[in-house]
Chain A
Amino acid sequence: MVTRLRLLDDAAWVSVDDTREAGTSEVWPVADSFCSCELTWFVAEAYVEVGADGRRVEARARGHCVTCGEAGTTDWLAVGRVTDDGFEPASGTRGSRRGSPASGCRGEC
């Protein structure tokens, strides 16, 4: 299965198979060492990279923790999964990993 992944609209959206699926502006709980907060509440201002491992779509995003203000770029975070019925956005607390997904797109495509 080939999934078309792009960053669109000044990297405000992850496009999955030509549909805007994951946008910036949401506040995500992130269990990570992004900042010194026990749980980071991360607001994504722009995506930096998007990639896929099989059906799992991941992205790195630039933004900051709305609690402490720490700004930067995340490691790879899940943004959703491609299912037989379409894209299913990630929910709940997100973990991160440093390794890159198998396929990806860096910067606005």
Chain B
Amino acid sequence: MPTDVERWKDEVYGEEIRGHLFEFAEAGWDAIPDEEHDAWFERFKWWGLYHQRKGQESYFMLRIGTPNGVLEPGQLETVAEVADEYARGPADNPEFGAAYCDWTTRQSIQLHWITLEDVPDIFETLEAAGLSTKQACGDSWRNIVGCPVAGKDTHEHVDAWPVAEELHETFKGDDDYANLPRKWKVSVTGCDQGCGQGDINDLAFEPAERDGELGFNVRLGGGLARKEPRFARDVDVWVPEEKVTDVAAAATELFDDYGDRENRYNARMKFLVDEWGAEKVRSVLQEEYVDWELESAGDDLREQYTYNAGGDEHGDHVGVHQQPDGNYYVGLNVLVGRMGVDDVAELAALADEYGSGEVRLTQRQNVVVTDVPEATLDDFLAEPLLENYSPDPHPFMRGSIACTGTEYCSLSIVETKNRQVRYARWLKDNVDVPEGVTDFHVHLSGCTASCAQPQIADVSLRGMKTRKDGEPVEALDVGLGGGLGEHPRFADWVEMRVPADEVPGYIRNLLEAYVAEREERDVPEDRRQRDGDAVEYETFREFVARRDEDALQGLADPEETSYEDPYMHNTKTTWYPYADEDDLDASPAPTDGSGEPLSVDD
């Protein structure tokens, strides 16, 4: 029996939703029939609009998909203008103000408090600048991710940007691929460091060489959601660059035909790969979806992968790096991926003044300004904006990622972004960074959907609840030792239901245990520095990997400290967690297009 979502999609989906969306925008929020809310909100996702959570009715999150995180010259300025004019709600965020932009872990942009009535004007403004919200959400090709400095990287094996661009042009808006069983996440990596995070995508193209020709190996069925994390499986297929789009089409059609449309829990590609195994996936792909002989996998570069691999070589793209053309790209740290609109506008202006105007978004919620000439690099680095968005941040600020959380999201169980800001600041002020550690990833996800990618962090935090002093409080499950690289590894869940105000103390105690118990080892000769230092410490990830569950649980205890958490109550049952009067009954929503409350009986 088809699900309601499938039935709704059969009736109206894809491009045609836009006409209905504009009609509702013209007529106003309350023109959507009450009995059709669930259906339309599901459909609106295809155009990048998520209805915000209970208590925020009539407001939407709007997601702009920027393939590979590339914002071409002028586009960031437009994003700032749209956020400034339209992404203002009835209450301010105490950390970020009244209007801001979120950079996501899929190199996209999210704005909040968008009203339906403003959507046509927003779309017109974005589209005039070459930006779109199309298929940013919903059951279709999502934003294509990749190495954020593709085409500007000295580590490049293949320039993946034209490949990602072609996939974007081909699969966004094509009716044949508009309605899939579930979301379809694609990654293209061109560098030898693994920055595309292909392992956690439904479809991944990773650099590989075959018979002396550069191309990509194909992996399928990765994903993190629902306590069912999977790394993408090697299906033993290599494609030259010119065949990538054809193979992507074939894999999408296979998913379209065989993905489970009767059970959305089971619909993602990872479950089909579980059921079939990689060998069958390959044979069905060969026999039913391509008319040429697929080549077996080539020699990949995975043993060179350093991105989020646990060492200190290349955990992200923050910092100053030379491009092949002699210019520089400068990666700036954006704590939890959120920037106030004035800062976004300033960033756009600086990118224009010092670089080519291009800005790129990373999968660690940071930004990269490209094409800065050496002659003006120091002047750029001296700009006041870089005091808050540093190219050389403290490790605890640098490593922090957080999803949207209960501020807006229906799925989240706990408050996330503001909490993670407070965690990072407290850790910076109160905990010594272990000698030798330059990169320490702490990812906070509000629920099992795993938008903050918690399973691939040194310290993984996932929203939960517990009782403390007899009262229900926000809590986190804590995992350790996850990451990517040649041998990717999901975190081991070690401490469950830790009250949120005891997590910073736990991390402090954990790092003290790491410092006390980590092993020294000889540095391989080819990696020794000129100072002759021949000994190094094992990485945190290695430290975790060589301990069993009991040993990990015995490493550290949660503890109350000077850290104070203002969000311990059930933030999901507020209309907005930071409002002075936060009860659901105090919500002004739903409102009309000008922000005036509507009676629910209207």
Q: Do residues B570 and A26 form an inter-chain contact, with CB atoms below 8 A?
A: yes
Chain A nearest CB, measured from B118 CB (Å): 23
CA–CA, A41 and B414, complex, Å: 18
Q: What is the CA–CA distance of A19 and B3 in the complex, to the nearest angstrom?
A: 18
User: Contact between B54 and A43 (Cβ–Cβ < 8 Å)?
Assistant: no
Cβ-based interface call for B548 (8 A): no
Interface residues in B438-489 by Cβ distance below 8 A to A read 447-449, 463-467, 472, 475
B contacts with A, residue count (CB < 8 A): 35
Q: Which residues of B contact A41 (CB under 8 A)?
A: 467, 472
Q: Complex formed: what's the CA distance from A66 to B573 in Å? A: 19
CB contact between B465 and one of A8, A10, A20, A43 (< 8 Å): that residue: A43
> How many Å from the CB of A108 to the closest CB on chain B?
4
Contacts of A60 in B (CB 8 A): none
- With A10-B226, A25-B465: A109-B37 Cβ-Cβ less than 8 Å: no
Considering the chains assembled together, what is the distance between the CA atoms of A41 and B34 in angstroms?
35
Which residues of chain A from 68 to 109 have a CB within 8 Å of any chain B CB?
Answer: 69, 105, 107-109
Contact B497 A66 (CB under 8 A): yes
A93 to chain B, nearest CB (A): 14
The secondary structure that dominates the B interface is mixed
Quick one: which of A4, A13, A43, A109 contacts B3, CB cutoff 8 A? A109
Interface members, chain A 6-27 (any B CB < 8 Å): 6, 8-13, 15, 17-20, 23-27
Q: Does A67 contact B (CB under 8 A)?
A: yes
CA distance A15 to B41 in the complex (A): 12
Assess the A20–B3 pair: CB atoms within 8 A. no
How distant is the Cα of A25 from the Cα of B439 in the complex, in angstroms? 32
Chain A minimum-CB-distance residue to B40: A18
Docked pose: A26 CA to B465 CA in angstroms? 7
Cα distance, A99 to B75, chains bound together (Å): 57
The reply to whether B465 and A66 contact each other, CB–CB distance below 8 Å, is yes
The reply to whether A4 and B35 form a contact with Cβ atoms under 8 Å apart is: yes
Contact for B464 among A6, A43, A109, CB less than 8 A: A43
Residue A45 interfacial (CB < 8 Å): yes
Q: In the assembled complex, how far is the CB of residue A20 from the closest CB belonging to chain B, in whole angstroms? A: 5
| Nearest CB of chain B from residue A82's CB, rounded to whole Å | 14
CB distance from B199 to the nearest CB of A (A): 22
- Are the CB atoms of B54 and A18 closer together than 8 Å? no
Provide the residues of chain A in CB contact with B292, threshold 8 Å: none
B53 touching A20, Cβ below 8 Å:
yes
In contact, A45 and B448 (Cβ under 8 angstroms): yes
Taking a contact as CB atoms closer than 8 A, the residue among A6, A12, A66, A107 that contacts B38 in the complex is: A6
Chain A's closest residue to B475 (CB) is A66
Chain B interface residues (CB < 8 Å from chain A): 3-5, 34-38, 53-54, 225-226, 263-265, 410-414, 447-449, 463-467, 472, 475, 496-497, 570, 572-573
